[in-house]
Structure 1
Amino acid sequence: MAQPQLKTNLLNQPLMLPNGFSIPNRLAKASTSETLATYSNNPTEKHVRLYQRWAASGIGMIISGNIMIDRRALGEAGNVVVEDERNFTILQKWAKSVTVQGSQLWAQLNHPGKQSTKGLNVRTISASAVPFGPEMQSLFATPDEATQTEIIDIIQRFGRSAAICKKAGFSGVEIHAAHGYLINQFLSPLHNLRNDEWGGTPEKRRRFLMEVYAEIRKQVGQEFPIAIKLNSADFQKGGFTEQDSLETIQALADAGIDLIEISGGTYESGVAKAPQKASTIAREAFFIDFAEKVRKLVKIPLMVTGGFRTVEGMNQALQSQACDVIGIARIMAIEPDVPKLLLAGKNGLQSVHPIKTGIKKVDSLGVMEVLWYTQQLKRMGKGREPKPHESGLWAFIKSILRSGWGTYATQRARAK
C-alpha cells in the first residue's frame, strides 16, 4: 500500500493548554482496560514494562487504564487502586518510565458504580437502585442507592487519589465520566432517579461531577492539568443526550477544565460506537461531528478518540480545528510502535478489526472489544510481543477463566 504524501504533518505540533502546560505532540494513547494489578489492586512491574514500551514510540501523552479510588469499588479484578500512599514507590517508577522518555502519563481516575461484575465487591452502589437491562442482569447486580455520606466520601476520594498521583510524578489526571461508570450514572436521567440535591434536573444530575472536579482542583492546584472523558451521548433511550453533554461541557469550561476527551456509549449500548453517517465514516473519527458542535460552544482543547485509521484522517481532523488531540487506543495494543510511523507521516502496519468468537450471544454484547485487546496488553506487560491475529474464541475462554479466578482471588485478598 502506498504511503501518504503530507505537506505538513500536524501531529508533530505541540499543544499548549490554557494553564500553560504543554503536550509535546497531538497523539495520545487513550485509556484501555489492562487489569495488570495484583488481586490486592497494587500496580506492578508489568505496568512499568507496558508503559515504557508505549512511551518509547514518541507518543505525546498516555492516559492510564482505570485507576480506581476505592478498594471496595472495583470495576474488574486486577484494577489499580490509589486511595493512599502504600504503593507510592511503584507509582513513581510507573510515572517515570514514561516521563523520562519525553512523553506524559495522565492518571484516569474512576469509580465503577453499579458497573462491576457480580461478586467482585461486597456492596455495589449507584445514583439510584436501577438494574441493568435483561441482557446484562446475569453479569451485574442491582445496586443500592448511594447515601449522602457515601457521595461525599467518593468526592473526597477522587481528590485524594489525584493528589497522590501528582505527588508520584504523573503529568495530569483524567476524570472518567463516560461509558456508564458512576459519574455517568449520576449524569443520566435513566439511571439517576433522585429528587434531592443530586438529581431531578440536569443541573442537579451534574452536581456530583462538578463537585468531583472542584475537589480535585482544590487538592492539586490550578497549574496541574485536569481532563475529563465525557460521553457525547449514551445512545440509550431516556439517557444522557447530546444536549445534556453540551450543557455539561459549558459548565466544565466555566469551571476551568483543561482538556475534554469526547467519547460515547455505555456497556449496555456499546462503548465508543456512535451511530454512523456516511459522511462521518469518511472522516474516520466517530465523534467528529459532535466535536464541531462543542468547538462552537467552548475553546477548551478537545481530544477525540475512536475510528481513526489513517494519518490523513488524523490530519484532516486537526486541520478542521474540530479537535486538538487525536486519541488512539486499540491499535496500540497490537502495534505499540505505531506513533513512530504516524509522526513520520506514514500509516501503521496493522489495522483494527472487529473481534468475533463465533458465539452469537457473546459477539452481540461487544465484550470482545475489551477482552481480546486486554489479552494483548497482558502479553506486553510480560515483555512479549502482541499477537494481532490471535483467536477471538481462545481469548474469550482465557478471559472467562481469568475473570472467575480473579473474582475469587480478590475476595480472598480482601478477607485477609
Structure 2
Amino acid sequence: MKVAEAFSLKSGQTLRNRIAKAAMTEGLAGRDGLPNQDHVRLYRRWAAGGLGLSITGNVQIDRAHLERPGNVIVDGPLTIDAKAAWARWAEAARADGTRAIVQISHAGRQTQKAVNPSPKAPSAVPLALPGGQFGMPVPLLESEITVLIARFAHAAVVSREAGFDGVQVHAAHGYLISQFLSPLANRRTDAWGGSLENRARFLVEAVKAVRAAAGADFLLSVKLNSADFQKGGFAFDDCIAVAGWLKNLGVDLLEISGGTYEQPRMMDMEGLEARDEPAQASTRAREAYFVDLAKALMTGQTPPLLVTGGFRTLRSMENAAQNGIAMVGVGRPLCAAPECVAELLEGHSDELPRPEDSLAIGPGWLGPRSPIKLVRTMNGFAAQSWYYQQLRHIASGRDAVSGLNPFNAFLAENRENKARS
C-alpha cells in the first residue's frame, strides 16, 4: 500500500491519496465569525498542493465558547450572505480534486476568560493552569447538553449545504467532548458521567445526530485522544473501547491524537517545545511513536485510522500505510510550504519541511536567570505564533516568510488577537 494510492470510505467517497491536511486553527475570521477571503486564499493554496483530504481549523458551535479569537462560528441560522461566504470557502478547499471536511468543536472550560469568564463544562472543575486565563466552569444542565448535540448536527448540515464533503467531530485535546470523556474533568453523577459508557454518551449522541442530519453519504470523522496523559484521565484502554463504539456507528475516519491544555503531549510530539536531541533523531522518534500507537489500537475494532503528528519523511508515511494506517496527517510543514505534499508525491522530494527544528529561541530574550519552565512555555507560545503568522501571510496571498523571528511573531500575533477580540 502506498500513500499515493486512492482510499475509499464507508460513506462512498474516494480520496485521491492518503495524505490529509490536519486541522490547524487559523484565527482569520472577523467578529462576525464568518469565513472570508483570507480563508478562500489559504485553502485554495492548500488544495492546489496535492492533498487527498483537507480538514479545516476548528469551527465553533457556540460563540460564547471560542478556542481563540478569529474562530469561524456556526451556532444558528445563516443569512444569505453567510451561506455565500461558506460556499466560497468550500469551493476553494475542494479545488483541484481535494476533498474537504469541517472540524466542528466546542471549547468548554478551555475557553479563555476574556471570551467567557464562566464557561460551560461537564463539571465545575477548573483547568489546572497558572496565569488566570481560564475561569471557573459552570456545569451544563442536561437540557443544555441536548441543545449542544443539536448544534453539532446543525453545523454538519451547514457544512453540507455549503459544499463540504464532511465534518470531523472534535473529541480530543481537552475541548468539551474530551472533557466529558475524562473522569478528571467529568465528575457528574447523572447519565452523562461516571462509567465510560456514560462519559462517552455526549460523543456517541453527537455522532448519531450528525449522521442523521447530514446523511449516510456525508464523510463523518472523529478526532479522539489516544490518552490524556494525565493520571486518572482518559486512558488508552478507554480509547480502544470508544473506537469500537465509533466503528459500530459507521464513522468513516478516526483521527488519533492526545493531550489537553494541561498536558499538551501531542503538541510536544509536533515540535512546539525546544529539544536537546538532534533533529533527525527527534523526527524518527515522533514518527515511530504514532505508528506504534496505531498498531496497538488496531488490536481492537476501530474505524480506519488517520494518524497525525511528526511525519516528515516519505519513508515513514509509507511505513505507516504498510502497517494498516489508512491516512497520514500533515500540519505544520504546510505552514512553511503549502505545496510540499505535491512535491513529495511527484518525486521532487522525499522529506517535508521541518520548521519546528529551528524555532527554539532560547532564554536570552527572557533574561539570563529565567526559569527553564518559563523558557519552555514561552518557546511554545512563540512557536505557535510563528505558525499562525505564516498562515496569515499565505492567506493574504503571499508566501511564508523565511527567517521569521519567533519572538516577533509572538508580538504580532498578540496584536492580531486583540484586534479580533
The TM-score normalised by the length of structure 1 is: 0.90
Q: Does 1:31 align with 2:33?
A: no
> In structure 2, do the counterparts of structure 1 residues 227 and 142 end up closer, same or farther at CA, with 3 Å as the change threshold?
same
Shifted more, 372-381 versus 358-367: the winner is: 358-367
> In structure 2, do the counterparts of structure 1 residues 390 and 171 end up closer, same or farther at CA, with 3 Å as the change threshold?
same
Q: State the match for 1:370 in structure 2.
A: 384
Q: Hey, what's the Cα distance between the residues in 2 that align with 1:159 and 1:318?
A: 32
Q: Hey, what's the Cα distance between the residues in 2 that align with 1:225 and 1:254?
A: 15
Amino acid at match of 2:334: M
> In structure 2, do the counterparts of structure 1 residues 249 and 167 end up closer, same or farther at CA, with 3 Å as the change threshold?
same
Q: State the match for 2:180 in structure 1.
A: 186
Q: Does 1:384 align with 2:398?
A: yes
Q: Does 1:335 align with 2:337?
A: yes
The residue matched to 1:385 in structure 2 has which SS? coil
> For 1:16-415, what aligned pairs fall within 5 Å after superposition?
16-83=8-75, 84-86=77-79, 87-121=82-116, 123-135=118-130, 137-273=131-267, 281-282=284-285, 284-298=287-301, 300-321=303-324, 323-345=325-347, 346-348=349-351, 350-354=353-357, 355-357=359-361, 358=363, 359=366, 360=372, 361=374, 363-364=376-377, 366-407=380-421
* 5+ long unaligned stretches in structure 2: 271-280, 367-371
Query: How many equivalent pairs are there?
Result: 397
Q: Deviations over 1:269-326 (max 9, x none)?
A: 11515789x89945715422221122221252111000111111111111122x1101
Contact 1:285 1:304 in 2 (8 A): no
Q: Deviations over 1:161-214 (max 9, x none)?
A: 101100110011000100110000000001000010100111100001101111
Contact 1:235 1:274 in 2 (8 A): no
The residue matched to 1:212 in structure 2 has which SS? helix
> In structure 2, do the counterparts of structure 1 residues 100 and 307 end up closer, same or farther at CA, with 3 Å as the change threshold?
closer
Percent identical pairs in the alignment equals 39
Amino acid at match of 1:328: V
1:85 deviates by 2.0
> In structure 2, do the counterparts of structure 1 residues 349 and 255 end up closer, same or farther at CA, with 3 Å as the change threshold?
closer
Q: Hey, what's the Cα distance between the residues in 2 that align with 1:333 and 1:213?
A: 30
Contact 1:68 1:74 in 2 (8 A): yes
Q: Where do 4+ consecutive residues of structure 1 move more than 4 Å?
A: 273-276
1:19 deviates by 2.7
Contact 2:113 2:134 in 1 (8 A): yes
Q: Deviations over 1:191-245 (max 9, x none)?
A: 0000101001111000011011111011011111100011100111211110111
Q: Hey, what's the Cα distance between the residues in 2 that align with 1:205 and 1:164?
A: 27
Shifted more, 140-149 versus 165-174: the winner is: 140-149
> In structure 2, do the counterparts of structure 1 residues 188 and 283 end up closer, same or farther at CA, with 3 Å as the change threshold?
closer
> In structure 2, do the counterparts of structure 1 residues 29 and 303 end up closer, same or farther at CA, with 3 Å as the change threshold?
same
1:362 deviates by 5.4
Contact 2:47 2:98 in 1 (8 A): yes
Q: Hey, what's the Cα distance between the residues in 1 that align with 2:91 and 2:141?
A: 38
Amino acid at match of 2:180: F
The residue matched to 2:255 in structure 1 has which SS? strand
Q: State the match for 2:274 in structure 1.
A: none
